[in-house]
Amino acid sequence: MTSDPIRYDSLKCLLQYIEFGKRIQLFKRCPAIRTAERSAPLRIESLVFENQQLRIDYKNYVIGIYQKCLHGETPRMIQNTNKWGGDEYEIDEYGIRNFNDNSNMTPGDVRIKGELEGPDIPIERRIAGHQRRVLDYERGLACQREGKPNRVADRYSERVILEELDKCRAKLLSYQSFRDNGAPLYENFVQFTIETETGDPGHIERYRKNDKKYHEAMKMLAIVLFGGRRCPVQVTYFRVTANVLRLPLGVKFQVNNLSFEEPIGPTILSMSSIIDSSSFPLKCLDVEAFKLEDAVHPVVRNAEKLCIGGYKIRQNLLLQILLSLENIIVHLTNEDFTRQNLILLIRNWIETGRPVGTHYKTDCRNKEEAKHRMKLIGNEFHVEIKEWVATIPMSDSRQLVIKCDEYPSEYYWSIEMEVQDVVKQE
């Protein structure tokens, strides 16, 4: 019995429907299919960029610096960091972080947040500070065990004091060894971890770090995943919380739903080199920081749905933003949106005659708060609440329907408002 090899175009078609992790494994292990794999469209349901990891379809691809202690017992602080995939910063052989590694940019990288730099503190001041803290925790521990009053003993449990003491001693030793040009304290490895959907480390690889920097390791991971792709990577949900996106030069993402925490204008501008133009208008834009002028930003105004976290926005400004938006569908996930602002927003809709289809949702802390708001709406606009639904007339042809509802499989509630046509009885 003979079997014909699969044709190139058929292979490209087949690759599109293979799960992402298995597809990358095939790319690494089967050189014969690499050209087809990079040419076939790549579809990802969820892609989240964080400082230490890429979360792809609910699996975490983590890069960390694993520290092996060369003398004595490994400090508890480092044991815990190693357990969770390693440190997310560049670290030298004395265990001292180099925050300035974050400033290194290579072709294809995208900076989202400002440069992260460590405080410029002289080494002797660092050592003196940690010596004081070690003494404070040692005294606190002794006083707690003897039942004597002490600032540290009164504030912390014995477990916390022991953890902080261990941490301070380890840092003190690191800075003293660095100052004295002593023998290295740690051997560092680049650790690559693939975590399962439950967060358990399903696959771990470690490599001797040698001269490779942390940002270079993150870059290598991105190149393996996204480098050399001939068409935009199709992503349903694309979220960014990282300071810098380490990416291969030329990669593009076609995005449906975009989410980030930083200011809208600068972030959109920074990501313009990697977000394919076919992504716009976005199906959903989910943001945390929002300025009044952002309401007229083309990406905001044209998004089919706008989600605003609002936790970084003052309440008086938040109301102004909501009043100035032209978006038809808006979800405000800020549970602190005040009752007064809710009433003012409803009144504005009635007075300005918002178009049919306008739909806003605001989250509430709990069931009692949601139902209290519904009663307030009924009293303010003199309408009856039926099964936690209020209908407020706007004109002969339009009405505002407001309802209180619980999220499916969740413990929090929402108030939903929608302008609807009046259905006339024949």
**Do the bridges between strand 201-208 and strand 186-195 make them parallel or antiparallel, or are there none, so unpaired?**
antiparallel
Instruction: Please tell me the distance from the alpha carbon of residue 165 to that of residue 137, in angstroms, as a whole number.
Output: 6
Query: Which pLDDT band, with edges at 50, 70 and 90, does 407 fall under?
Result: low
pLDDT, mean over the chain: 90
107 closest CA partner among 222, 24, 268, 240: 222
Please answer whether residues 48 and 241 qualify as being in contact, where contact means their C-beta atoms are separated by less than 8 angstroms.
yes
Please answer whether residues 25 and 15 qualify as being in contact, where contact means their C-beta atoms are separated by less than 8 angstroms.
no
* Site of tokens 């602190």: 336
Q: Give the pLDDT of residue 425.
A: 59
DSSP per-residue letters across 122-163:
-HHHHHHHHHHHHHHHHHHHHHHHHT---HHHHHS-HHHHHH
Number of Cβ within a 10 Å radius of residue 247: 24
Range 24-32 average pLDDT:
80
Query: What are the backbone angles phi and psi of residue 404, rounded to the nearest 5°?
Result: -105, 130
Q: Cα–Cα distances in Å, from 74 out to 127, 167, 267?
A: 20, 11, 41
Instruction: Please tell me the distance from the alpha carbon of residue 186 to that of residue 230, in angstroms, as a whole number.
Output: 42
348 closest CA partner among 422, 417, 294: 417
Query: What are the backbone angles phi and psi of residue 285, rounded to the nearest 5°?
Result: -120, 120
Q: Give the pLDDT of residue 28.
A: 79
Which pair of structure tokens corresponds to residue 387? 């099964």
Whether residue 117 is predicted with pLDDT greater than 80 in this model: the reply is no
Instruction: Please tell me the distance from the alpha carbon of residue 328 to that of residue 305, in angstroms, as a whole number.
Output: 7
Q: Give the pLDDT of residue 424.
A: 67
Choice between 366 and 44, residue whose per-residue pLDDT is larger: 44
* Site of tokens 């022991």: 162
Peptide bond into 281 cis (omega under 30): yes
Please answer whether residues 317 and 292 qualify as being in contact, where contact means their C-beta atoms are separated by less than 8 angstroms.
yes
Mapped onto helix, strand or coil, the DSSP state of residue 49 is strand
Instruction: Please tell me the distance from the alpha carbon of residue 257 to that of residue 48, in angstroms, as a whole number.
Output: 12
Please answer whether residues 23 and 61 qualify as being in contact, where contact means their C-beta atoms are separated by less than 8 angstroms.
no
Range 228-233 average pLDDT:
93
Mapped onto helix, strand or coil, the DSSP state of residue 114 is coil
DSSP letter assigned to residue 42: -
Query: Which residue type, as a one-letter code, is found at position 252?
Result: K
Q: Give the pLDDT of residue 412.
A: 74
Query: Which pLDDT band, with edges at 50, 70 and 90, does 391 fall under?
Result: very high
Range 122-138 average pLDDT:
96
Which pair of structure tokens corresponds to residue 332? 């405000």
- The residue ranges of DSSP E strands in 2-89, in sequence order, are 43-49, 53-56, 59-69
Please answer whether residues 247 and 273 qualify as being in contact, where contact means their C-beta atoms are separated by less than 8 angstroms.
no
pTM: predicted TM-score of the whole model, two decimal places:
0.88
What is the percentage of the chain residues whose pLDDT exceeds 70? 93
Q: Give the pLDDT of residue 410.
A: 56
Whether residue 300 is predicted with pLDDT greater than 80 in this model: the reply is yes
Q: How remote is the C-alpha of 307 from its chain's centroid?
A: 15
Q: Cα–Cα distances in Å, from 301 out to 253, 345, 366?
A: 21, 19, 31
Q: Where are the domains of the chain?
A: 62-225, 226-421
Instruction: Please tell me the distance from the alpha carbon of residue 57 to that of residue 171, in angstroms, as a whole number.
Output: 37
Q: What percent helix, strand, coil does the chain show, rounded to 5?
A: 40, 25, 35
Instruction: Please tell me the distance from the alpha carbon of residue 151 to that of residue 332, in angstroms, as a whole number.
Output: 43
Q: Which helix (H) or strand (E) element contains residue 401?
A: strand 398-406
Q: Give the pLDDT of residue 319.
A: 92
Instruction: Please tell me the distance from the alpha carbon of residue 307 to that of residue 293, in angstroms, as a whole number.
Output: 16
Q: What are 150-207's pLDDT values in tens digits?
A: 999 999 999 999 999 999 999 999 999 999 999 999 999 999 998 876 667 778 889 9
Mapped onto helix, strand or coil, the DSSP state of residue 364 is strand
Whether residue 367 is predicted with pLDDT greater than 90 in this model: the reply is no
Q: Give the pLDDT of residue 24.
A: 79
Q: Give the pLDDT of residue 120.
A: 76
Whether residue 1 is predicted with pLDDT greater than 50 in this model: the reply is no
